[in-house]
């Protein structure tokens, strides 16, 4: 059985980018529902006893939707920390971003544009392919880059429940605010 992940920070720690109220709904209610639905669907299925990633790679329908949303949100909520000005990656990840996108600012611009431009609900991801090349993908609904053989590194949730309390319908403003709270050490560890 899967459990709701614990947040590695206090509920108010991400403000103003993400309010404590948004976290209480997004983590405490939305993610909890996906976890509950997944746990209810697994007994007796071929996916019982498998890891989230194994389920997301191979399942379809309701099991995929709930496993995908659980895995996606686990990545999302564990990549944040308290806001910092001039927040940027370092080390090999920064070098890969420079190599594959022409610099951090160009990367942020492309990533935000793909997040803002995804029609409907879903996720925008930074991932690495088998050779370590970085790619940005748009994944609708509960999609995850592991289904394409990619290694997920960073994600922004563009479902309205991720930002509506704080930003209403201003998805681009939400995406811009997230850059201040990314824990690049976590993203770097995923890249290595």
In a domain, 1, yes or no: no
The CA–CA distances, whole Å, from 42 to 29, 72, 74, 138 equal 20, 18, 19, 27
In a domain, 169, yes or no: yes
What is the number of domains present in the chain? Answer: 1
pLDDT given for residue 160 in this prediction: 87
pLDDT given for residue 168 in this prediction: 87
pLDDT band at 33 (very low <50, low <70, confident <90, very high): very high
pLDDT given for residue 149 in this prediction: 97
For the stretch 47-66, pLDDT in tens is 999 999 999 999 999 999 99
Q: Residue 104: which CATH number?
A: 3.55.40.20
In a domain, 12, yes or no: no
The CA–CA distances, whole Å, from 72 to 47, 68, 79, 148, 182 equal 18, 6, 11, 15, 15
Task: Answer yes or no: are the C-beta atoms of 111 and 182 closer than 8 Å.
Answer: no
Angle at CA 76, nearest 5°, toward 176 and 60?
Answer: 120
pLDDT band at 91 (very low <50, low <70, confident <90, very high): very high
In a domain, 6, yes or no: no
What rounded mean pLDDT belongs to the chain? Answer: 96
In a domain, 40, yes or no: yes
For the stretch 122-159, pLDDT in tens is 999 999 999 999 999 999 999 999 999 999 999 999 98
The whole domain housing 99 covers 18-192
Query: Do you know the residue count of the chain?
Result: 192
Cis geometry, peptide bond prior to residue 16 (ω within 30 degrees of 0): yes
Sequence-ordered list of residues with C-beta below 8 angstroms from that of 19, at least 6 positions apart, any chain = 12, 165, 166
Sign of the alpha-carbon torsion through 63, 68, 71, 73: negative
Please tell me the pTM assigned to this model. 0.95
Report how far Cα 101 is from the mean position of its chain's Cα atoms.
20
For the stretch 111-123, pLDDT in tens is 999 999 999 999 9
Residue 40, pLDDT above cutoff 90? yes
For the stretch 71-84, pLDDT in tens is 999 999 999 999 98
pLDDT band at 13 (very low <50, low <70, confident <90, very high): very high
pLDDT band at 86 (very low <50, low <70, confident <90, very high): confident
């Amino acid at each position: 059985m899967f459990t709701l992940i614990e947040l590695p920070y206090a509920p108010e720690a991400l403000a103003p980018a993400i309010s404590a109220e948004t976290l209480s709904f997004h983590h405490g209610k939305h993610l909890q529902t996906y976890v509950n639905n997944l746990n209810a669907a697994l007994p007796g299925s071929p996916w019982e006893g498998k890891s989230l990633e194994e389920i997301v790679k191979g399942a379809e329908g309701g099991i995929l939707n709930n496993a995908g949303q659980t895995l996606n949100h686990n990545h999302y909520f564990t990549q944040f920390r308290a806001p910092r000005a001039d927040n940027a990656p370092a080390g090999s990840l920064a070098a890969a971003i420079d190599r594959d996108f022409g610099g951090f600012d160009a990367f942020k611009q492309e990533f935000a544009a793909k997040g803002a431009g995804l029609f409907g609900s879903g996720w925008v991801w930074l991932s690495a392919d088998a050779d370590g090349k970085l790619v940005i993908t748009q994944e609708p609904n509960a999609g995850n880059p592991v289904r394409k053989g990619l290694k997920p590194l960073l994600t922004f949730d563009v479902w309205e429940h991720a930002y509506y309390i704080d930003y209403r319908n201003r998805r681009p403003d939400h995406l811009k605010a997230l850059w201040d709270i990314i824990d690049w050490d976590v993203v770097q560890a995923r890249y290595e």
